[in-house]
Amino acid sequence: MSEPGFRHEFYAYRGEDEFLDGALSFINDALAGDETVLVAVAAPKQRLLRDQLDSPAARAGVSFMDLDALGRNPARLIPAWQDWIAGRTGTGRPVRGIGESRWTDRAEVDDAELRYHEWLLNRAFVQSPAWWLLCPYDAAVVGQAVLDAVARCHPLRWSAGAHSADSGYQDGPYAFEMLPQPGHPHHELDYGPGQLAQVRDRVADSAARSGLDGGRLRELLIAVTEVATNSINHGGGRGTLRVWADRTDLVCEFHDSGCITDPLIGRVRPDPDQIGGHGMWLVQQLCDLVQIRSAPDTGTTIRLHTSLA
């Protein structure tokens, strides 16, 4: 049975057979301890696991998360785990999860945010009930540099069927990768109070040039309004907008002199009755990727990515 608190474990494997061996061992151990399991992996691996659950009890004790429905933005993963755990804490049964994001066919910016997500899991669930999350990584697909980086976000490691503390785990502040330079050409606008309409117009103009319209454009305009409003209200009263299109996305960057101190901003579902605190949550739901870099000496930079596909 799981120990109290959050156990966050790294598991490097090679190929489907090793994935199945590790995942099924983890699931069977959980079911033997009367624990319930949520599996959040890509659809092909879900099918592999479903085919191996050969009893009604096993099928009843294992649920599957639809990662495709959550979309590309890893900021939606933590609230999805929290919602599932909250629905089961009243049962008195410890819970386990298997979480593996898709690492192929992604841009480097997506990989960077997925690594940050792994680090944030330790903050999001530091006061959680008994909860054990296994994070498999296919070493045949994911490069060694990425494996080393994500391993540093996991206090525990599973290797050769043994659970142990990971000596490479780093509990200090997260070491962000530098944001790449804005694409060229890009359009720039300084904004302040009373200029939200100009912000939206600049984004809409760039979106039109990139072929982004309809509902996706309306969602993006809501998101940029939220971020620009935060600059005006909390970021020193002014900000700078830069907009460009890269190979896959329309990117809107906001910079101001404020500082965000909550690393989980926008990643925890706000209480419907609370006043304030909904803006960045809404932004994370509307955008395909959100990058936040903030420090007292450099201010805050937020990049909103909307897929052009």
Q: What is the pLDDT of residue 92?
A: 66
CA-based nearest residue to 41, from 21, 61, 63, 10: 63
Residue 264 CB coordination number (10 Å): 13
CATH of domain 187-307: 3.30.565.10
Which residue's entry shows tokens 């939220």? 226
Q: Yes or no: say if 131 and 6 are a contact pair by the CB < 8 Å rule.
A: yes
| AA identity, residue 219 | E
Fold of the CATH domain 6-165: Rossmann fold (3.40.50)
Closest C-alpha among 129, 124, 57, 62 to residue 92: 129
Instruction: Report CA Rg, the chain.
Output: 21
The pLDDT value recorded for residue 1 is: 40
Q: What is the DSSP letter of 236?
A: S
Question: DSSP labels for 142-164?
Answer: S-HHHHHHHHTT-SEEEETTEEE
What does the pLDDT read at residue 2?
44
- Helix, strand, or coil (residue 42): coil
Phi, psi of 239 (to 5 degrees): -160, 175
Is the bond preceding 182 in cis, omega lying within 30 degrees of 0? Answer: no
Q: pLDDT per residue over 170-227, tens digit each?
A: 888 898 988 999 988 899 999 999 999 999 999 999 999 999 999 999 999 999 999 9
* Domain ranges within the chain, ordered by starting residue: 6-165, 187-307
**249 vs 243: CA distance, rounded Å:** 11
- Which pLDDT belongs to residue 105? 64
Give the model's pLDDT for residue 177: 85
Low-confidence stretches of the chain (pLDDT < 50) are 1-2
**Cα–Cα distance, 243 to 221 (Å, whole number):** 13
How far apart CA 243 and CA 176 sit, in angstroms, is: 22
pLDDT (0 to 100) of residue 165: 92
Provide the Cα torsion 181, 187, 190, 192; round to 10°.
-110
Across 206-282, where does the E strand assignment appear? 239-245, 249-256
Does this model's pTM top 0.85? My answer is yes
Token pair, residue 179, equals: 């944001």
Using the structure block, give the residue that is written with the tokens 């990139």. 210
83 burial type by CB count under 10 A (0-12 exposed, 13-18 middle, 19+ buried): exposed
Q: How far apart are the first and last CA of the chain?
A: 45
Whether 67 and 39 have beta carbons less than 8 Å apart is answered as no
Q: Which residue has the tokens 């997260």?
A: 174
Neighbouring residues of 132: CB distance < 8 A, sequence distance ≥ 6: 2, 6, 7, 9, 30, 35, 94, 95, 96, 97
- Report DSSP state, residue 175: -
